[in-house]
Amino acid sequence: MPEAHPQATQTQLSLASLAEESFILSPRHLGSGFYDQIIRLCQQAGFIPKVTQEATQMQTIVSLVAAELGVALVPASLQNLQRAGVVYKPLEDQTLYLKLAIVWRSANTSPVLHQFLAQSRAVTRFSAAFH
CATH code for the domain in which residue 31 is found: 3.40.190.10
Q: 12: domain range?
A: 1-97
27 and 81 in one domain? yes
Residue-wise pLDDT tens digits, 26-58: 998 887 788 888 899 999 999 999 999 999 998
The pLDDT-based confidence of 97 (bands split at 50, 70, 90) is low
Give the per-residue pLDDT at 126: 45
60 and 34 in one domain? yes
123 and 79 in one domain? no
Indicate if the pLDDT at residue 129 is higher than 50: no
Number of domains in the chain: 2
Indicate if the pLDDT at residue 131 is higher than 50: no
92 and 67 in one domain? yes
Indicate if the pLDDT at residue 122 is higher than 80: no
Taking the C-alpha atoms of residue 42 and residue 21, their distance in angstroms, rounded to an integer, is: 12
83 and 25 in one domain? yes
Taking the C-alpha atoms of residue 32 and residue 82, their distance in angstroms, rounded to an integer, is: 26
106 and 44 in one domain? no
Taking the C-alpha atoms of residue 84 and residue 63, their distance in angstroms, rounded to an integer, is: 9
90 and 58 in one domain? yes
CB of 64 within 8 A of CB of 76? Answer: no
Report the SS3 class of residue 91: strand
Cα Dmax for the chain = 54
Q: Is the overall model pTM greater than 0.95, yes or no?
A: no
Taking the C-alpha atoms of residue 97 and residue 53, their distance in angstroms, rounded to an integer, is: 24
Taking the C-alpha atoms of residue 24 and residue 43, their distance in angstroms, rounded to an integer, is: 16
Of the candidates 23, 18, 87, 72, the residue with the CA atom closest to the CA atom of residue 46: 18
79 and 44 in one domain? yes
